[in-house]
Amino acid sequence: MSALADLINLDLSDSTDQIIAEYIWIGGSGLDMRSKARTLSGPVKDPSELPKWNYDGSSTGQAPGDDSEVILYPQAIFKDPFRRGNNILVMCDAYTPAGEPIPTNKRHAAAKIFSDPNVVAEVTWYGIEQEYTLLQKDIKWPVGWPVGGFPGPQGPYYCGVGADKAFGRDIVDSHYKACLYAGINVSGTNGEVMPGQWEFQVGPTVGIAAADQVWVARYILERITELAGVVLSLDPKPIPGDWNGAGAHTNYRSQEAMERGQDVENWWCDEPEVAGAIEAWEAVSAEQTKGQDHDREEGTVASRRELVRVVGIADSGEHHDPELHKFDTFQGMGVMEENFHEKSCSHHGKTAKTA
């Protein structure tokens, strides 16, 4: 195995100027990550220097068998934490040979929104909190849980420390460092309420880069769990019963809200600015959550809308008006937050519609 490890960690820079570019895209489910690698003649600094590429869309659920070619357009570059050196990860979106975005390409429409002069002037800041669960590979049961059984009730695991409370920290820390190496603005990570469940946060990041970074962070996490022999689950309710689910919170702050934020503690629901912001935010939520099963018996806060009053206090309880989404404060600056059912979450679509 040491010889294999030596080859995996082989530094190519001493023998060639060529690099390896791993092209990454979102598969047909809208959640699965796909990738393949190609050799380039030398280091690349900008996506515009990269060639387009293609793949068989009929094998990813993104094209029919009789017209299966799909074209990858490179959009963002990150350092490759696995191959290191000058090797890169390339976030791509997907198009037909005629240049039309395929139906699962949410980035194309998002790029149009984020390039609109009004949106550019708004300076759209995002912070995205991605929750996930680590599962034992062969039995699809959370890591740290007894096979066929359950751990003690929730309470000690959130941000917990110790071998009986934190399960999978080696994966979490590896992911944290790999993302920072790649150039992803990961701002933190923590253990979640259910044992075996974790969260990482990306941001604050402006515009479309926020969604690009979350997707690549998810790709890196998939690769690390692959190496560790653990399964990554983004299921919003992986375990039935009285166990917390997993979601994806999106925090949004405009430049205007930041500049006016010193008075945000005094903005109540009857203020026109806040009422208008909440109404617009509700429209985004309604569209993003269309078709979700909110009456699911095993539902949890993370698979329902998490809404609170307009004050500077975060509250994940369920006693507030379910039509008002959280208008929070963060260091005296107006921040809006929404938590989406992960199975319907499109980071590009969600951030763009918020903008």
Kindly state whether residue 85 falls inside one of the protein's structural domains: yes
Say yes or no: 7 and 82 in one domain.
yes
Kindly state whether residue 191 falls inside one of the protein's structural domains: yes
Contacts 24+ apart (CB under 8 A), 27-36: 27/60, 27/61, 27/62, 27/104, 28/57, 28/60, 28/61, 28/62, 28/104, 29/61, 30/104, 30/106, 30/346, 31/234, 31/342, 31/343, 31/345, 32/60, 33/215, 33/218, 33/219, 33/222, 34/60, 35/219
Say yes or no: 347 and 209 in one domain.
yes
Say yes or no: 219 and 180 in one domain.
yes
Kindly state whether residue 76 falls inside one of the protein's structural domains: yes
Kindly state whether residue 142 falls inside one of the protein's structural domains: yes
- pLDDT tens digit sequence for 183-237: 999 999 999 999 999 999 998 899 999 999 999 999 999 999 999 999 999 999 9
- pLDDT tens digit sequence for 2-33: 889 888 888 888 899 999 999 999 999 988 99
Say yes or no: 330 and 201 in one domain.
yes
pLDDT of residue 330: 39
- pLDDT tens digit sequence for 113-159: 999 999 999 888 888 999 999 999 999 999 999 998 999 999 999 99
Q: In the chain, how many domains are there? A: 2
Say yes or no: 191 and 229 in one domain.
yes
**Domain span at 22:** 2-103
Say yes or no: 97 and 127 in one domain.
no
The CATH number assigned to the domain holding 276 equals 3.30.590.10
Say yes or no: 134 and 277 in one domain.
yes
- pLDDT tens digit sequence for 303-341: 333 333 233 333 444 333 322 334 443 344 455 655 554
Say yes or no: 146 and 29 in one domain.
no
